[in-house]
Chains A and B, each alone.
Chain A
Amino acid sequence: KQEVTQIPAALSVPEGENLVLNCSFTDSAIYNLQWFRQDPGKGLTSLLLIQSSQREQTSGRLNASLDKSSGRSTLYIAASQPGDSATYLCAVKDSNYQLIWGAGTKLIIKP
């Protein structure tokens, strides 16, 4: 059974720092992995989608990597800003086309 874990559960850093959020999954048989952002009381915004054949995807200050064989993905945020404060969720699409979620990392960027 696929399980997705995100570490740390919460992270607080000063503005301007580069940071890394981690996501691990137990079954490497995935089609893709997606990183989302959720702001308090709001919906889910897709940030990056990495296919199983890809190693990384970039969008602006965000870079997501995928190492399928080791069951790991990282989300790198460069030059963090207070507006980056949110909960970051990763989800894998498993071999049954179902989306399996991590519990999220709550990120706080201090001005």
Chain B
Amino acid sequence: DTAVSQTPKYLVTQMGNDKSIKCEQNLGHDTMYWYKQDSKKFLKIMFSYNNKELIINETVPNRFSPKSPDKAHLNLHINSLELGDSAVYFCASSHGGREYHGYTFGSGTRLTVV
């Protein structure tokens, strides 16, 4: 009964490959997010989806593409992986636009590009 679940938990892959990370939430939230946590532990917003519409894209390379088949899922697809993509990626969800709601995070996916 995990609220926000991400798979896989760990991902090791070679440069140039294409990979996907999946995220699902069962909280009934209408907005989902992808964050990247770099080696210095800073969390940076990458995308958010609200009712299947992309509402934030913070200068992320177009090799990264979020895909949301429905309100409960937001998957992250990465093309032509580069060494600099190595990081921990977190999925989160909330009731977007509702000021009194907080965020719930998944446990993260540690991506290592070799």
Q: Which residues of A contact B (CB under 8 A)?
A: 31-32, 34, 36, 41-46, 49, 51-52, 87, 89, 91, 93, 97-99, 101, 103-104
Which A residues are in CB contact (< 8 Å) with B90?
A: 43-44
Q: Which residues of B30-77 have CB atoms within 8 Å of chain A's CB atoms?
A: 33, 40-43, 45, 56
Considering the complex of A and B, which 10 residue pairs feature the smallest CB-CB distances, nearest first?
A: A43-B107, A31-B99, A44-B105, A49-B102, A43-B108, A101-B43, A34-B102, A51-B100, A43-B105, A97-B97
Is chain B's binding surface mostly helix, strand, loop or mixed?
Answer: loop
Q: Which residues of B contact A (CB under 8 A)?
A: 33, 40-43, 45, 56, 90, 92, 96-97, 99-108, 110
Nearest-Cβ distance from residue A9 to partner chain B, whole angstroms: 10
Which A residues are in CB contact (< 8 Å) with B42?
A: 101, 103
17 residue pairs of the A-B complex, CB under 8 angstroms, read A31-B100, A32-B99, A32-B101, A34-B102, A36-B105, A41-B110, A43-B105, A43-B106, A44-B92, A46-B103, A46-B104, A49-B102, A87-B41, A89-B43, A93-B99, A101-B43, A103-B42
